[in-house]
Structures are given as structure tokens and as C-alpha cells.
Homo-oligomer: A and B are copies of this chain.
Amino acid sequence: MKLTFSPGSPFARKVRITAIELGLIDKIELVPATVAPTQPNEAYSHDISPLRKLPALILDNGEVIVDSYVIVEYLDELAGGKLIPASGAARWKVKSDHSIIQGMTDAMLLCRYEVGVRPKELLWQKWVDDQWDRTWQGLTRFENHPDILTRPFDISQIALVSLLVYADFRFPDCGWRAAFPKLAAFHATMLERPSVRASIAPAA
């Protein structure tokens, strides 16, 4: 299998950590790709995904799987189901938490595009504030309802640490650690996992 990725992508990081945790990383060739808003990439659009987003998983038979969550589900099934509870209330809790974190990550990316990619004179501060608030409200929720931080290791925790790593990468002065001490402790613990550390080291 091949996985398109960039070192900074939080969605690709989630998949890379997942693949290591599941013991599947040796079956995956990491393929660096560059996709960015307003930058055409016809080959990626045509051959991989019209969305021009990372990551995409290209199976040996040529089939392409998107998006990052479907890839993770696919890998988890290959490995026998370790990171997503198979049934019951825990299954829907993990899936729903994961979706919230994905949405928080999307919102942070929209902030990044607004302040770091869009021409300065076209910046709409209310938009930035709104998107940032979605992420921040989500962090507040998990700080105040920290069961996600301590339950058995699952995909939502991988998504959360990937988001926090992205926050450090793009918004290093945003102050999330001071605002959310439980999340800071969780992040520090997660960084002790070899899978997370490997995903942060400069990628090939």
C-alpha cells in the first residue's frame, strides 16, 4: 500500500501513528505529496482525489481510499479491530469524539489558510475568530469531560494528539497548555509512545 502524506498534515499524522500502533507501517510506502489551497495539482486531482487532500491510501490493486478516517477504519479492520470499539455505546462515543476532533482540526486549518495563505488585505477577522472558537470550545469540552484522556487507547486519542501537535506547529503561541492543563498532561504522556514520537521526527 502507499500513503500520500506531508510531514505537517495532522490528518496524515493520525494515519501514520495508527499504522505504527497496528503493526502495519512496514506494509505502507509513504509517498510525500504537496497539495495546498489555490495551488493546482492536476495529477493528484485526477489520479488520487478530486479533493486534493492528504492523506490517501492507494491499495495494491490501485483502489484509492479517502479520507483519513476511512483509511484508519480500513487499517483497523486489517489488524483485527484494535482502535475502534466494535459495538455498543463505546463505539459511538469514540466515533463521535473522533468526528468532533476532526472538525476542530478542519477549523484550525481554516484559520491557518486565512492568516497564513490568504492575501493579508482579504483577511476576515470574524471568520478567524469563529473557526478558532470552534477548536477552543472543543478543547474546553475535553478538558472538562476528560474521559477521552484516560479510557483505553483509541482512535480519538490519536486524533487529539495529532491536533495538539498541529497547534504547536502552526500556532505555537496560542497558549493551549496553560488553558488546558489536563490536555497538556495527556499530550506529554502521548509523546512517550514511540508511534507518536516517530510521526513527529522529520519524515523521509
Contact = CB atoms under 8 A, between A and B. Distances in A.
9 tightest CB-CB pairs across the interface, nearest first?
Answer: A50-B137, A51-B103, A50-B138, A67-B99, A38-B126, A70-B95, A122-B124, A38-B130, A65-B96
B51 A104 contact: yes
B124 A52 contact: no
Interface of A: 37-38, 45-46, 49-53, 63-67, 69-70, 73-74, 89, 92-93, 95-96, 99-100, 102-104, 106-107, 113, 118-119, 122-124, 126-127, 129-130, 133-135, 137-138, 140-141
Given A70-B99, A96-B66, A118 B124 contact: yes
Contacts of A134: 45, 50-52
A129 B39 CA distance: 11
A38 B137 contact: no
B123 A51 contact: no
B73 A95 contact: yes
A92 B67 contact: no
Nearest to A68: B99
Contacts of A137: 45-46, 50
Contact of A100 (B50, B73, B95, B122): B50
A8 to B, nearest CB: 19
27 contacts: A37-B130, A38-B130, A46-B137, A49-B100, A49-B103, A50-B135, A51-B100, A51-B107, A51-B134, A51-B138, A53-B103, A63-B89, A63-B92, A63-B93, A65-B92, A65-B96, A66-B100, A66-B103, A67-B99, A67-B102, A67-B103, A69-B99, A70-B99, A73-B95, A118-B124, A122-B122, A122-B124
